[in-house]
C-alpha cells in the first residue's frame, strides 16, 4: 500500500533585497525528489520567475518530510511544490 510523503517542517522563503526592491511576486512550481530520509533534493523549477525560484529552492532544501511509504518501507518519490511569493 502506498502512502504519500507528509510535510513535517516547512521553512518560509526569505525575500532578497533585490527581489523586494524589484517588487517581484508570483507563484513558483518546484519539482523535488523526496528521499527515503525525508530530505528534498534534485530541485528544478517547472514555472515561475527564476529569481523567485532560487529563493524557493533555498527554503525547500530545509523542508523535512515523513517519506513516502510503499508496503511499510520508505521510498524515494517525486512531488510538485507550489510556493507563492506575495509582498506585504
Phi, psi of 56 (to 5 degrees): -65, -45
Q: Which helix (H) or strand (E) holds 43?
A: strand 40-47
Taking CA atoms, 66 is separated from 15, 32, 37, 41, in Å, by 27, 14, 8, 14
pLDDT band at 19; cut points 50, 70, 90? confident
Question: Which structural domain, as residue segments, surrounds residue 35?
Answer: 2-85
Taking CA atoms, 40 is separated from 2, 23, 43, 75, in Å, by 19, 28, 8, 13
Residue with cell 518560509: 12
How many domains is the chain built from? 1
34-86 per-position pLDDT tens digit: 999 999 999 999 999 999 999 999 999 999 999 999 999 999 999 999 999 99
For position 46, which CATH number holds? 3.30.2420.10
With H, G, I as helix, E, B as strand and everything else as coil, classify residue 47: strand
Amino acid at each position: 500500500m502506498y502512502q504519500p510523503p507528509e510535510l513535517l517542517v516547512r521553512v518560509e522563503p526569505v525575500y532578497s533585497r533585490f527581489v523586494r526592491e524589484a517588487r517581484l511576486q508570483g507563484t513558483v512550481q518546484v519539482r523535488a525528489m523526496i528521499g527515503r530520509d525525508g530530505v528534498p533534493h534534485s530541485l528544478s523549477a517547472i514555472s515561475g520567475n527564476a529569481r523567485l525560484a532560487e529563493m524557493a529552492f533555498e527554503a525547500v532544501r530545509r523542508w523535512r518530510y515523513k517519506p513516502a511509504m510503499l508496503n511499510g518501507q520508505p521510498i524515494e518519490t517525486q512531488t510538485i511544490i507550489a510556493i507563492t511569493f506575495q509582498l506585504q
